[in-house]
Amino acid sequence: MTAGTLPSSFNMTRFVIGRLGIMVAVSCLWLGANFITRAAEGGAAARTQIRVDANFPGGNIVVDSIAGDLVTLRPDLRDTEGDWFYWYFRVRGGAGRTLQFSFSRSNPIGTRGPALSLDRGKSWSWLGTNAVAKQTFTCALPRKAREARFCFAIPYLEHNLKDFLKRHRRHPNLKAETLCQTSGGRRVELLRLGRLDGKAGHCVVLACRHHACEMIASYSLEGLMEAVLDAADVRWLREQVEFFVVPFMDKDGVEAGDQGKNRRPYDHNRDYQGESLYASVRAMRELITGRLGARNIALALDMHCPHIRGAHNEHIYFVGGPAEDNWARVGELARVLEAVQRGPLHYRAADNLPYGQAWNTLAGPARTFGRWMADQPNVRIGTTIEIPYANVGETTVTAENARAFGHDLARALARYLPSRIAD
């Protein structure tokens, strides 16, 4: 070994240390750059104001303010008398952020929180009660969410009905007609199902959305119609009953995103007196007294949803009218429904609301569709059924199990009608 010469092992150690130092330095630089980039992205997201609107079919909201990730809003009541709960809006620019939505007027959030869609309203899920604190709900949006839609329940609009009609467009037991045109120029559909050759032994009239916001009833109506058309266990209905169905009595309200309940001076369901205000009500009355005037109508059923929470609002129930004989027949049908039901939304006849109890009293001169039908000489049963928005007892309402309840209704009619002769 000569003076100043280091052993080879020492040179190797210095070389390794040097390389490690370079690697550490590079890693630190990468981590630092990545941190700066992420911080910049986060800062940009924080600086970008989210966009909230209701400019689509069924949309309804008034935005009071947007401050960072907090949105203060309220339902657009329009011509609704008093306060109510319908709202449906979308959010854009909120991807990857945790947003809060606080209602400023009252609490219009139901028992399962809001319904959420991340695919422009094609599919829905309940956000859940854990996301709710009084009049505020919180939602952490996925990083890839281009938009999010929130609604107080699961919407059912004209496009949903069009999808149903498209699926069954060639069905021999379905015919789509027009009941009337609305003041807004929209077509009000009249669907005929079942036996269509004029030789049906029974006639049934079904109506829905006298109150525009009562959307879950539409899913049950769709399930009933699907059963009539295709279910093996209600084949008798296809062969012996002609159904006349109006899916949207307040078509303008449904598409415009109106509450529809408690309109000024009165809503569609309280228009069955004197000269009716609304074209669809006038056309329905003409259908019953004119086209069907010589027919025996075994059942006229109006399908509704109740309030979003509280007593009588978390159970399925029939609503009684003042006519005792009519209510007795409703009770017969109710007991059959209770006996034959198979779906997850459990109906109990004990939950029915007789006339004179709770809210079910005469309030003013206006008559509802159910009560008007019960007074018609060719109608055996005229009544209303209420189907909750979010839960039936402890069972969460979904589009699927609401349709299943419609199948249960069809099953009850298939059992009830053959043994009854209309009065």
CB 157 within 8 A of CB 57: yes
Strand partners for 207 = 246, 302
Q: Summarize pLDDT for 138-148 with one digit per residue, the tens.
A: 999 999 999 99
List the domains of the chain with CATH numbers.
51-151 (2.60.40.3120), 158-419 (3.40.630.10)
Q: Could you tell me which of 389, 391, 381, 314 has the C-alpha nearest to residue 353?
A: 314
pLDDT tens for residues 125-140? 999 999 999 999 999 9
pLDDT at 6 exceeding the cut of 50:
no
For the cut 80, the answer to whether the pLDDT of residue 81 exceeds it is yes
pLDDT tier for residue 14 given thresholds of 50, 70 and 90 = very low
- Counting every residue written for the chain, the total comes to 423
Highest mean pLDDT among 41-50, 158-167, 361-370: 158-167
Q: What is the mean pLDDT of residues 189-199?
A: 96
What pLDDT digit, counting tens, does each position of 365-403 carry?
568 999 999 999 999 999 999 999 999 999 999 999 999
Q: Which of 68, 225, 232, 87 minimizes the C-alpha distance to 149?
A: 87
Handedness of CA 355, 358, 362, 368 (dihedral sign): negative
- pLDDT at residue 31 greater than cutoff 90: no
Considering the chain, what is the average pLDDT of its residues? 90
Output the pLDDT for position 166: 98
* Nearest C-alpha neighbor of 284 from the set 200, 353, 207, 350: 207
Other beta carbons within 10 Å of 350: 9
pLDDT tens digits, one per residue of 276-331: 999 999 999 999 999 999 999 999 999 999 999 998 899 999 999 899 999 999 99
What pLDDT, on the 0 to 100 scale, is given for residue 232? 97
**Does residue 335 register a pLDDT over 80?**
yes
pLDDT value at 10 more than 60 = no
- Per the DSSP assignment, residues forming a β-bridge with 102 are 72, 136
pLDDT value at 159 more than 70: yes
Banded model confidence at residue 364, pLDDT cuts 50, 70, 90 = low
* Tens-digit pLDDT profile for residues 220-258: 999 999 999 999 999 999 999 999 999 999 999 999 999
The edge-to-edge listing of strands for the beta sheet with 51-53 is: 51-53, 88-92, 147-151, 115-117, 125-126
pLDDT at position 366 is 62
Quick one: what percent of the chain has pLDDT higher than 90?
82
Exposure letters 276-289 (e unless 16+ CB within 10 A, then b): bebbbbebbbebbe
Asked if the model's pLDDT at residue 55 lies above 80, the reply is: yes
Give the residue-averaged pLDDT of 67-82: 96
At residue 150, the pLDDT reads 98
Does position 24 have pLDDT exceeding 50, yes or no? no
Q: Given this model, what pLDDT does residue 421 score?
A: 52
For 65-79, what is the mean pLDDT? 97
- Mean of pLDDT values over 190-203: 96
